[in-house]
Amino acid sequence: MKKKRLLLLSLVVTMGILLVGGGITAQAKTANKTVTFAQLTNKNTNRLAAIRQAAREQILKQTKAKSSKVAAVYKVKLPKHMTKKATLTANGLRMNLLANSFKVKQITIPYAQLQGKILNRYLPKANRTTHVKTNKMVALTFDDGPDPTLTPKLLKTLKKYKVHATFFEVGQSVSRYPKISRAVLAGGNELGNHSWNHPDFNTIGTARTVSQITRTNRAIFQATGTLPQYVRPPYGNITAAEGRAIEQPIIRWSVDSRDWSYLNTTKDINEVMKDTHGGDIVLMHDIHAQSVAAVPTIIKRLKAKGYKLVTVSQLLNYQALPGLQYFGAGDYRTAGK
């Protein structure tokens, strides 16, 4: 009887040790770790700007801010020095903030929002970027919407053929048709900033360019509850100073359909098919009936060639950074150059 009691006691003690040890191990894996931004970014200033971009989104979400606060979030002082520190936690990157109008002292940016922005080794495996073959990937993009009739028609086409695209929308149109902007995202597509009313940034100066972008970001946030990640400058024109000031990745293109000049469905199809190869970003417009009518044939012909139609984020493997402009997969340079 005594032997049985001793054996039982021994088993209980052993299980207790294992449980405690397991708890210690689990806790160790999720223990907070202090790191510098130099470590997180490998001293890359574009990556640090991407962290600031993610931080602004998180401040708005964490405070459940209204769209009227979008302009204010760009005035919050965020880290610009590599020696500053943050904390890796189980839920994301925790950052302390200086005094600000949101009255927020601390934010935690989910790791999912930092994919491609900080080095892989600081991310959970589920959020790390991996090598992507882009030789059979093409990103269709559409500018100048939303249009109350043509954009919904285009969304139906994309849904029918089970593909996604990226829409660069004009702020004043987003304000008029917010439901359509929401429908763009609801369909699994991306939505980017294409200025407020389509001026040439090269002619209006940095301050007015930033105002154009901020005003449109506010309209998109009001319509969808999210800030757009990307900016496409009208006519593709942007200066280096504007690129630095905007602090969002700039998306250009490698295939220009010039659909606005032809207004001819057959010619639109031929121009896109003639010039498009793997890794390309194709520029079209969802405000011209002829362009929207060309999309079903373009999709079918590209698919027949083995291409997968993806969003800009997918094509760029979620690694686009502020201060840089992207023309296609692996084709980028400093904004304004």
**Active-site residue identified among 164, 194, 285, 288:** 285
Distances (CA, A) of 96 to 54, 79, 104, 141, 152: 14, 10, 9, 37, 42
CB atoms within 10 A of CB 289: 14
143 belongs to the catalytic site: yes
Distances (CA, A) of 9 to 1, 20, 173: 12, 16, 74
How many residues are there in the chain? 337
Q: Which residues pair with 250 in a beta bridge?
A: 231, 325
CB atoms within 10 A of CB 97: 17
DSSP 8-class letter at 307: P
Contacts of 38 (CB under 8 A, 6+ apart): 82, 83
275 belongs to the catalytic site: no
Q: What spatial distance separates the first Cα and last Cα of the chain, rounded to whole Å?
A: 86
**3-state SS, residue 150:** helix
Backbone angles phi, psi at 267, to 5 degrees: -70, -35
Residue 175 structure tokens = 């304000």
**Active-site residue identified among 143, 147, 259, 286:** 143
- Annotated active-site positions, please? 143, 285
